[in-house]
Amino acid sequence: MALGRVLVIGLDPVRIPGWDPEPVVAAIARGQARFGDHGIEADMCLVVPDENAEGTIVEALTGRDYACVVVGGGIRKHEPLLEFFEKVVNLVRQHAPRAAIAFNSSPEDTAEAALRWLR
C-alpha cells in the first residue's frame, strides 16, 4: 500500500547564525532516513523566517500534491516565532487544504508524526 507524499517544513539549521548546526543536520538526516524505512516519499522545505520563507513555503506546497505536511519544532516551539508558526499553518491550509497537518517532537520522529495521519 503506497502512502501519500509528505512535506516537512522546518528551520534551516545551517543558515541560522550563532550555533553549531551539525547535531541538528545529523538528526534531520536520521529522520529523513526513517521515511525511507516506511516507504514514504518526503520532501524537505527548510527556511529562515527573515529570508522570503513564506514564498519558499508556498512554492513547496504548490509544487506537488501532499497527503501530510509536518511542521517542525524549531518553528513551533520557539516563542518569538509564534506569528511565523501561525503563518505556516495558514499557508498549509490555503495551499494544501487536503493535506493533514502533523507535528513532530524532534527531527528524528518526523516520519512517525506523518504516519499518524497517513494510515
Q: In the predicted model, what is the mean pLDDT of residues 26-40?
A: 95
pTM (two decimals): 0.94
Does pLDDT of 18 surpass 90? no
Residue-level pLDDT at 31: 95
Rounded to an integer, the average pLDDT of 43-67 is 96
Mean pLDDT over 16-37 rounds to: 93
The tens digit of pLDDT for each residue in 73-87 reads: 999 999 999 999 999
Sequential DSSP letters for 46-104? EE-TTSSHHHHHHHHHHHS--SEEEEPHHHHH-GGGHHHHHHHHHHHHHH-TTSEEEE-
Q: How confident is the model at residue 16 (pLDDT cuts 50, 70, 90)?
A: confident
Which CATH number describes the domain made up of 6-116? 3.40.50
> Residue range 6-18: average pLDDT?
93
Residue 9's SS3 state is strand
Select from 38, 34, 42 the least CA-distant residue to 109.
34
